[in-house]
Amino acid sequence: MSEKPYVPLYRVTDSIIHLVAEISELVGVVTVKGETALNPHLRRANQIRTIHSSLAIENNSLSLEQMTDIINGKRVLGSPNEIREVKNAFDAYSLMLTFDPFNIEDLLKSHRILMAELTNEAGRFRFGGVGVFAGERLVHMAPPADVIPKLISDLIHWVKTTNTHPLIKSCVFHYEFEFIHPFSDGNGRMGRMGQTLLLSRWKPIFNWLPVETLIRERQQEYYTILGVADKAADSTAFIEFMLRVIRDALNDLMQTEQVREQVTDQVERLMSTLGNETLSAKELLERLGLKHRPTFSNNYLRPALELSLIEMTVPDKPNSSKQQYRAVKRNSD
């Protein structure tokens, strides 16, 4: 007799049903409005945020600005391994939609790209045992290496053939992939990217929705919930957690787009001119090629301040002779 296939265990709770309905409604609103499809700059920025957050979860210390510079081909001072992680992740996410989520060879290929020059086992399942530690405490002992090919094959077969809703299915895959831990390194990155790929096959918006950003903000809860699911021997708690993260990421996207809809061409010019610098009103006037101070104040400066896109360096003295302005750094970044 052949061995029974590995089948994920989970329950569809009322909370999961409500979250699936809520997310589906949000996806419908965003898709109908078509905002992100019309904004390639936002898509690229979100992809970089995704990469930054996914690597930060794995203790990469480079800032969002440094990663952006690396991806844009600029030289950055930093650990060679951390810089390589960024380049690899950008290559992998850029090719993500060409990967078949139901093909093991594509799974190995994506790992080879993601972990190139970072491990000798890039693109290969692990050969030995592995445990997940929190400090010195073992929090998860992964299955032995000799059963990895079968477990992954069974998981992919389940994902391909199940009638489970794509939102739930992607969460189950993410959890089960982390449980199996098929690689010697890079499992977290692969699991998150794999879920994004499955969601992107369902709705294209997920290709540039920075879900990892919110996972990073809730990193401790992320690991705690993985432990809860391990102890319960099913992924229900993890599904609920990830669906809340997806819902919140969609809400954040809609809020971002609502702000962008209010941004005039003049404010766009101001933000582009300001960039990452801190400049005085006089310097901004000169760079914008403007001479009429009231026009600058009414059409450029004040709207940007009201939308919280820029901030004063001396907020308690708006008319200070030392007053300068800089772009507001978002918490999610």
Between residues 33 and 90, the one the model is more confident about: 90
Sign of the torsion formed by the C-alpha atoms of 139, 20, 98 and 162: positive
> What is the structure's pLDDT at 141?
83
| pLDDT class of 104 with cuts at 50, 70, 90 | very high
Q: Output the six-digit token pair for 181.
A: 């831990």
Report the range out of 50-59, 100-109, 247-256 with the highest average pLDDT: 100-109
> Please, what are the domains in the chain?
14-260 (1.10.3290.10), 265-327 (1.10.10)
With a cut of 60, say whether residue 130 has pLDDT above it. yes
With a cut of 80, say whether residue 134 has pLDDT above it. no
Q: Output the six-digit token pair for 320.
A: 């200070």
Average pLDDT, stretch 100-122?
A: 97
> What is the structure's pLDDT at 115?
98
Give the separation between CA 77 and CA 95, rounded to whole angstroms.
Answer: 26
> What is the structure's pLDDT at 47?
87
Contact 165, 20 (CB under 8 A): yes
- Looking at every residue in the chain, the average pLDDT score rounds to 89
Q: Helix 166-180 and helix 14-33: axis angle, to 10°?
A: 110
| pLDDT class of 41 with cuts at 50, 70, 90 | low
Sign of the torsion formed by the C-alpha atoms of 68, 188, 101 and 243: negative
> What is the structure's pLDDT at 95?
95
With a cut of 70, say whether residue 87 has pLDDT above it. yes
User: Worst-scoring range by mean pLDDT, 2-6, 91-95, 133-137, 270-274?
Assistant: 133-137
User: Worst-scoring range by mean pLDDT, 146-160, 164-178, 216-230?
Assistant: 216-230
Average pLDDT, stretch 5-34?
A: 91
With a cut of 80, say whether residue 71 has pLDDT above it. yes
pTM: 0.78
> What is the structure's pLDDT at 282?
92
Between residues 259 and 123, the one the model is more confident about: 123
> What is the structure's pLDDT at 3?
74
Give the separation between CA 140 and CA 32, rounded to whole angstroms.
Answer: 43
> What is the structure's pLDDT at 1?
46
Tens of pLDDT, residue by residue over 231-282, are 999 999 999 999 999 999 898 877 766 656 556 778 888 988 998 899 999 9
With a cut of 90, say whether residue 127 has pLDDT above it. yes
Please, where are the H alpha helices in 96-218? 104-114, 148-161, 166-180, 187-202, 211-217
> What is the structure's pLDDT at 332?
42
Give the separation between CA 164 and CA 172, rounded to whole angstroms.
Answer: 10
- The pairing of strands 310-312 and 325-327 is antiparallel
For 191, other C-beta atoms within 10 Å of its C-beta total 22
Which residue from 98, 76, 103, 100 is spatially nearest to 87, judged by alpha carbons? 76
Average pLDDT, stretch 99-116?
A: 97
| pLDDT class of 146 with cuts at 50, 70, 90 | very high
Please state, in angstroms and as integers, the Cα–Cα distance from residue 115 to each residue in 110, 176, 192, following that order.
9, 20, 14
| pLDDT class of 333 with cuts at 50, 70, 90 | very low
Sign of the torsion formed by the C-alpha atoms of 18, 19, 22 and 23: negative
